């Protein structure tokens, strides 16, 4: 038996089956990040609220989803919910599970970002006559984003790999498809090397995007900052 089969390696590298699995991994990651960010923002804002009716449910949510393994959450969503008459296909269950889980982690990251904006700036903004929505838009969020983006990047990198856990409910993402192919020719090393290359390609691509994001949110802090924030708004103000 050969140690390494180059023919098999290139066959898997060019495999459309594996490539489409990687696309599924990518899709799961992008969706769960976006949905998790939106839901995480809501949970973070709720958790910071002075009203117990808002902050307690948010605390409970974070406690629950960070305190249990994603694997368990996925199995409960996929096999448990049908017992209550909620039937989900594999993809929907995977998307929901990943998004709910990601939201809990992102909520803590976003909350830390929002907390980093000094109360003095919020008071000053109120005194200037800005309303709460305007304060969030012009003061809190732009400053919070700068704090949020680096840990958000780590979270997305982790999520790219964590999506492989959805294979337990037979979601056909990259890892699951590799496992399926193993049974065909038993070229385990070649196949999983290809799988590793796909993950590396995706995490490397994300690293590049993250660097750009960081530059973008840091742009107001660079020395030669050009006024970017007020220009379009001033135009809106003129026409309204």
Partner 1 sequence: MSYLEFRNVQASYGTNPILLGVDLDIEKGEIVSLIGPSGSGKSTMLRVLIGLTPLSGGEIRLEGKPIDYATKAGLRAVRSRMAMVFQSFGLFDHLTVEQNLLLAPTVVGKKKRAPLLEEMHEVLRLTDMQGHDGKRPPQLSGGQKQRIAIARALMLHPEILLMDEPTSALDPIRIAAMSDLFGKLAAQGVTIIQVSHNMDVVRSLSDRIVLMHDGRIAATASPKRDQDDNAAIARFMAAEAHQA
Among 68, 79, 92, 121, binds partner 1 (CB under 8 A): 121
Q: Which is nearer to partner 1, 3 or 238 (CB)?
A: 238
Residue span binding partner 1 (CB under 8 A) among the ranges 31-39, 71-79, 82-90, 122-130: 122-130
Q: Which is nearer to partner 1, 183 or 240 (CB)?
A: 240
* Residue 187 CB-density burial (10 A; 0-12 exposed, 13-18 middle, 19+ buried): buried
Contacts of 216 by beta carbon, 8 Å cutoff, 6+ apart: none
Q: Rg (Cα) of the chain, in Å, rounded? A: 22
Distance CA 86, CA 84 (A): 6
Among 137, 116, 135, 155, residue whose Cα is nearest residue 34? 155
What's the chain's length in residues? 240
Among 23, 72, 128, 201, binds partner 1 (CB under 8 A): 128
Which uninterrupted H or E stretch holds 202? helix 188-218
Instruction: Please count the CA atoms within 13 angstroms of the CA of 29 that sit on its side-chain side.
Output: 25
- Residue 172 near residue 21 (C-beta atoms within 8 A): yes
Give yes or no for residue 232 binding partner 1 (CB under 8 A).
Answer: no
Among 123, 188, 189, 200, binds partner 1 (CB under 8 A): 123
C-beta of 214: minimal distance to partner 1 in Å?
14
C-beta of 49: minimal distance to partner 1 in Å?
17
Residues in contact with partner 1, total (CB under 8 A)? 30
Distance CA 77, CA 90 (A): 10
Give yes or no for residue 189 binding partner 1 (CB under 8 A).
Answer: no
Distance CA 230, CA 125 (A): 15
Chain-centroid distance, C-alpha 135: 25
By CB under 8 A, the residues from 192 to 231 that bind partner 1 are: 220-221, 223, 225, 227, 229-231
Among 3, 85, 120, 208, binds partner 1 (CB under 8 A): 120
C-beta of 101: minimal distance to partner 1 in Å?
31
Among 8, 11, 19, 142, binds partner 1 (CB under 8 A): 142
Among 126, 185, 211, 212, binds partner 1 (CB under 8 A): 126
Q: Where does this chain bind partner 1 (CB under 8 A)?
A: 120-121, 123-131, 134, 138-139, 142-143, 146, 220-221, 223, 225, 227, 229-231, 233-234, 237-238, 240
């Amino acid at each position: 038996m050969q140690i390494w089969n180059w023919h098999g390696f290139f066959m898997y590298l060019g495999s459309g089956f594996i490539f489409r699995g990687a696309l599924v991994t990518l899709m799961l990651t992008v969706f769960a990040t976006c949905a998790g960010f939106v839901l995480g923002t809501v949970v973070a804002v709720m958790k910071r609220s002075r009203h117990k009716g808002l902050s307690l449910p948010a605390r409970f949510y974070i406690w629950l989803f960070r305190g249990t393994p994603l694997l368990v959450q996925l199995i409960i969503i996929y096999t448990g919910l049908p017992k209550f008459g909620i039937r989900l296909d594999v993809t929907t269950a995977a998307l929901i599970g990943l998004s709910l889980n990601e939201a809990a982690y992102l909520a803590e990251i976003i909350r830390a970002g929002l907390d980093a904006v000094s109360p003095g700036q919020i008071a000053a903004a109120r005194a200037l006559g800005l309303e709460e929505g305007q304060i969030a838009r012009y003061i809190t969020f732009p400053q919070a984003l700068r704090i949020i983006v680096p840990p958000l990047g780590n979270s997305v990198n982790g999520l790219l790999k964590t999506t492989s856990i959805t294979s337990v409910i037979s979601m056909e993402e990259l890892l699951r498809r590799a496992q399926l192919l193993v049974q065909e020719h038993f070229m385990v090393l070649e196949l999983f090397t290809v799988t590793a290359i796909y993950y590396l390609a995706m995490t490397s691509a994300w690293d590049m995007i993250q660097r750009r994001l960081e530059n973008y949110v840091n742009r107001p802090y660079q020395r030669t900052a050009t006024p970017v924030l007020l220009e379009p708004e001033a135009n809106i103000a003129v026409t309204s």
